Amino acid sequence: MNKNKQETKKRKRSNSLEIKTEGNVSFNPKEEEFSLENSIIEIDTSLYRNKNEIKSIKDVTNDKLCDAINRTNNEMEQIFRDNQHLMDLRIKIPFKVPKAHLIEKSVVAIQSKGLFDGIPINTKKYTKREDDLILRNFKEFCEAHKIKHDPTPFVNFVIGGRHVLSVYERLQFVRYIGKGLNDRKLYSIYKRFQLLCSTTNKGRFSSIEDQILLTYINNNNDDKQKFAKIAKILNRSKSQILKRYSTITESIENDFAKMTGIPKIEYLVSKMMEVLNISTIKELKSTELTSEFWEEISKQLDYPLYQLKRFWNASVATKLFNQNIKINKVLRKIVDTLHEKNITDWKSIDWNEICKPFERKYYTPSFIYDKFKDLRRCNIRKEYQQDPQVCIKMLKDLFSENPLLLRKIKSYEYEDGRIAKY
């Protein structure tokens, strides 16, 4: 009898792990409060194979959470002490400010487009040259004002809950780091600076991070600052946390998100035709899909608009509307075009422009971009993939030897609500 009770207790203990932080940790520099009390992380052990693996997960999670909290508090406290002198910083600009940089009244809010009438504005992706220029300008800014070369206080203009610079000085700062970017908006330059200098994690979320995120939000649901606090604990941006939380909860609750393969495509196409009040693929093919249409579809499917459009453009539209997908022929032309343009930076490629010659055959930029990545990944060794010139030259040579580098892609045929590959 006692033996059975002991076995039952063991089973109960193995079903879940409770990981507690060591003591109560809190931080309150001036106006900002940051604390985490009695946080318990429930780990679903059914995903792991043995006790050693479970123990490893427990140790890693506990260490990660405690270290993250302590690091956040210590770093915030240190930053607050080290940068108080920036409160009185007055920025001097030793060059003539371009007209486009004198229009905006704020660097953290988008200004009306009408304000820039008659002024050419570049809205394309930032190139490596532009990125390097922003970083070089920031280094010069630090040297000119005799301050530490540390972007941390300028990434959000906040130290311990207090603003670092006045609105005017923020404008001056972005004008300084935007020297040479005369056709870029200050808002755009500052956003790029934030991206380049952010020290937050940018990779995929681990299963442990997902577990910590879900548990913390569920346990602190009434806290209005819960997303900001867990962002600091996991060293992620708040937007990353919001997006990941949305993805996790939708994948748990949303029927469309649970679907995969052909059934998912059938459901999406039938829903699109229902909203548009049409009955044939030919009608869908000739219909312009407006932003209002996508908003309605997103609402009805309870699925993120961006992910929905991406799924349609990259995985469905080309296969549904093009009955003879000549992917190798298309990619060979793409490679030739990139070779002629002498591309030196992957970020500088405008895929919408590159893919224009193939629009009439319903090859979407998203579809071609994904297939180009497959082509590069399957045929070029990893150490050569980062250099565009080397990679494109190798692909061009490979196509000369073998015109069929990727296997044939099957099209979709839709009839009576069903899809068949052929």
The confidence score (pLDDT) of residue 251 equals 58
Top mean-pLDDT range of 35-39, 45-49, 65-69, 242-246 = 242-246
Q: What is the mean pLDDT of the chain?
A: 78
As given in the structure block, the two tokens for residue 53 are 């693996």
Measure the CA–CA gap between 44 and 42, rounded to whole angstroms.
7
Tokens 């500088």 identify what position? 348
Top mean-pLDDT range of 128-132, 206-210, 237-241 = 128-132
CA atoms in the 13 A half-sphere facing the CB of 293: 14
- Helix crossing, 226-234 with 207-219: angle to 10°? 150
Q: Alpha helix locations (H) across 120-237? A: 128-144, 152-156, 167-177, 186-197, 207-219, 226-234
Cα torsion for 286, 289, 292, 297, to the nearest 10°?
Answer: 110
Contact 65, 233 (CB under 8 A): yes
Count other Cβ atoms within 10 Å, centred on residue 212. Answer: 24
On the question of pLDDT at 320 being above 60, the answer is yes
Cα torsion for 129, 331, 282, 299, to the nearest 10°?
Answer: -40
Give CA separation, 53 vs 4, 49, 65, in Å: 25, 7, 18
**Least confident range of 7-16, 139-148, 354-363, 395-404:** 7-16
The H-or-E segment that residue 17 falls in is: strand 16-20
